[in-house]
Amino acid sequence: MSFQYYETLQDKSKQALINIVEQIVPSISNDDLSLIISDVSKKSKDPKVKSGDIKSFVFIGEDQDKKANFSNLTIAKLKKMFQIFISREINDRIALKWRFYQYLKINRKINLDTIQINERGVAENSVNFVIKTKDDTTIFVIIYDILNPESYAQGLDNIIKFSKDHKIIPDRILIVAKKSHRTVPIDEPLKIDRVSIEPELWIEWVEERKPYKAEDALLIEGIDTEIAGFNFTSMDDLLDYVYKITSGGQVSISRHLNYFSEEEKQSYDEELIWKGIMFKNKT
C-alpha cells in the first residue's frame, strides 16, 4: 500500500481513512478541524465580511489539548484531509495555508503567543495570518500557490492597506508559496509609515529522497509512541517535531520498515537514521 496518492490506496473505507488522518502530526484539534473543513468547503460564517477586514480573523490554536474527532466527517472530507496533510497532492492556497499552520506549531524559530487566521483567506493576495510572538513581534503572512511578480506586488499593496486600516505595523512579513518565479523582487524592502521591512520568502520544499518510506514507523529513543513516516516530507520537518517533543540532549531516531503495512507486528531490527545532540534554551 502506498500513501503517495489517494488513488493508490487499497482501502478507501471510512475507517481506514480515519485511522490514517488520526496520525497527522502535530495533532489537529476540534477547533482546527472545524475551521479547516469550513475553509476547504469555501464556507464563511458571515458573507458580508470582506476578506481584508479584521472581523474576518479569529484566534486559533487555543484548544490543542482537545484532539479532533474525525468519525463525524464524510468520506469526501476525509479524502480532503488525506490529500492536504498526508499525500500533499492538493497544492492550492488553502491547502498550503493549513500545512503552514501545522508547521507553525513545531517551528522552534517562532515562539508563538497567539495566531489569528483569516476565515475569508481564500481571496488572493489577502493577509492570511496575524501572528504574535512571546517577544512581542507581530508577523503578517500571505499564502500563494505560485508566486509571480504581479501577485507579489498586489500582496504588498494589500499589506500596506491592511496595516493602515487596522493600525498594526508588522515586524516581519512572511510570503509563503509552493513555488515562486525567480523574478519576484523579494530583496526590496517594504515601507509602512517610514518603517522599512524586508519580506521573507518561505517555499514549501519536499525532499525527493526521504530518509524513510511512507509506511515506516519512526522510533525516538525514550519516547513511547509510534510516529508514521508519511507525516513528514523531509528530515528537517521530522527534526523540528522531535525537537518539540523531547527535552533535548542526546537524541536517536530509528525506523521500522513497512510497519504500517504489516498485518501482524512482529519482532524487527531497528535502523538508525539520525543521531545527534539537541540543545534547548533554558527559559
Q: How is residue 263 written as a grid cell?
A: 498485518
Q: What is the DSSP string of 214-273?
A: TTPEEEETT----EEGGG-SSHHHHHHHHHHHS-SEEEEEEEETTGGG-SS------EEE
Reported as a single tens digit per residue, the pLDDT across 56-96 is 788 998 887 788 999 999 999 999 999 999 988 999 999 99
pTM: 0.80
Instruction: Summarize the confidence of residues 14-22 as an average pLDDT.
Output: 94
Peptide bond into 26 cis (omega under 30): yes
- Output the CA torsion sign for 96, 102, 106, 109: positive
Instruction: Summarize the confidence of residues 43-50 as an average pLDDT.
Output: 46
In this structure, what are the phi and psi dihedrals at residue 214, rounded to the nearest 5 degrees?
-55, -35
**232, amino acid identity:** F
Query: Nearest CA to 117 among 58, 189, 48?
Result: 58
Strand 112-118 with 172-180, pairing: unpaired
Q: What percent of the chain has pLDDT over 70?
A: 87
Q: What is the DSSP string of 60-100?
A: ESS-TTSB--GGGS-HHHHHHHIIIIIS----SHHHHHHHH
How far apart are the C-alpha atoms of 173 and 231, rounded to whole Å?
A: 27
The answer to whether the CB of 260 falls within 8 A of the CB of 217 is yes
Reported as a single tens digit per residue, the pLDDT across 188-232 is 999 999 999 999 999 987 766 677 777 788 899 888 777 888 788
How far apart are the C-alpha atoms of 98 and 14, rounded to whole Å?
A: 22
- For the chain, the first-to-last Cα distance in angstroms comes to 44
Reported as a single tens digit per residue, the pLDDT across 111-165 is 999 999 987 655 678 899 999 999 999 999 999 999 999 999 999 999 999 999 9
pLDDT number for residue 83? 95
Distances 274 to 108, 164, 250, 270 between C-alpha atoms, Å = 19, 47, 11, 12
- 18: exposed, middle or buried (Cβ count in 10 Å: 0-12, 13-18, 19+): middle
**266, amino acid identity:** Q
